Every structure is written in C-alpha cells, then in structure tokens.
Structure 1
Amino acid sequence: MTGGTKRQKDMRKALRVLLPRVPMVHAEAILAAALAGHLRHLPPSIALWQATSSYIRHELTDYDVLLEDGYERDAARFFVLDDMNAVLEDWGSQKRLDPDEES
C-alpha cells in the first residue's frame, strides 16, 4: 500500500490514524471501499469512516442476517452496534459508533 494519488496517500494515512491495529486483509477492503467513486466528494477521514462502519456492519456482524430475518434497518443496526464498537476497539480506534447518530 504505497504510492498512488494524493487522495490515496491521504486515505492510507487516515486509515493508520483511525485504525492502527486493523489487520491488512480488512484494511485493504476498507481502503478500496473508501476510494469508491460515490465517496470521492467527501474528505478522506469521512469517506474512510463511512467505509469502515459499512464494512464492519456487513462483513463482521450479523446485520445482514437480521435483515433477512425481517428486522427493520434501524433495529438491525441497534442490535449490532456493540459488536461493531468491539471491532473498532480491537483495531485500536478511538472513535466509536453512537446509537443516536446515523453513520
């Protein structure tokens, strides 16, 4: 993960600050999502946070299973919030998801 555009370099730097202990396999997936075209209008730190929260929610929790079981989106998000924050803590993030904020 070296070289690239200024935005890619800024994104990698922001990733190291936000998630200092994230495993490389997850870091690469999060970085790819954060660099997606639909997030290009956002500052790197915000695009990275959105990509991180989405990645954790869909890949590392039961969120999609809850949706398939008929839970509404907000309810499913509520039930995976603690699991998501545990992942953020494991990865060394100082930031946490707040149940009162939309991510």
Structure 2
Amino acid sequence: MVGITGRMKSEEEEAKLRKRNEELERELRKSQEREEQMRRELQKAWERLRVAEEAEERLCSQLGELEAESVHQAREYNARLLSLVNQLSRATIQSASAC
C-alpha cells in the first residue's frame, strides 16, 4: 500500500513538473517572440536613422552651395553698385564742368 501511495505521489509530482515545464516553454516562446519583435523594431529604427542622416548630409551640402552662391551674388551686386556709383560720379563731374 505504501508503494502505491508513493508511486501516486511520484506520478502527481511528475505531472506537476510536466505542466510547469510546458508553462515555462510557453513563456520562453513568448519571450523569444517579443525579443524578435524588438529586434525588428530596432532594425526599422536604425534604418530610419540612416535615412535621416543621409538627408541631413544632403541638406548640409545644399545649404553650403546656397551660401556660396549668395556670397557670389552679393559680391556681384556690390561690384555693380560701385560701378554705378562711379558712373554717377563721372556724370556729376562732367555735368558740373559743363556749367
């Protein structure tokens, strides 16, 4: 009789352990799925960061080109303005000497 009771306890414990093992395996699978999902999200974020960095580089390059162009245009404008001032001065001098 003691042998049967001991065997029943052993079978109950084995069943409990099997059930606990199944629960742990389910939890492990869920954890692995969450980990994979996080890995995919991290990869997407990394890709968005790479695209943003490339866009920033292009914008900086375009900004540099625009700055160089604006400096060039400002110098041309200044030269044209000085030329017009000189022409006006000569015209004023000629007009004054004609009087």
TM range (shorter): under 0.3
Q: Give 1 or 2: higher helix fraction.
A: 2
Higher RCO, 1 vs 2 (CA within 8 Å, ≥6 residues apart):
1
TM-score by length of 2: 0.21
Q: Which protein has the larger Cα radius of gyration, Structure 1 or Structure 2?
A: 2
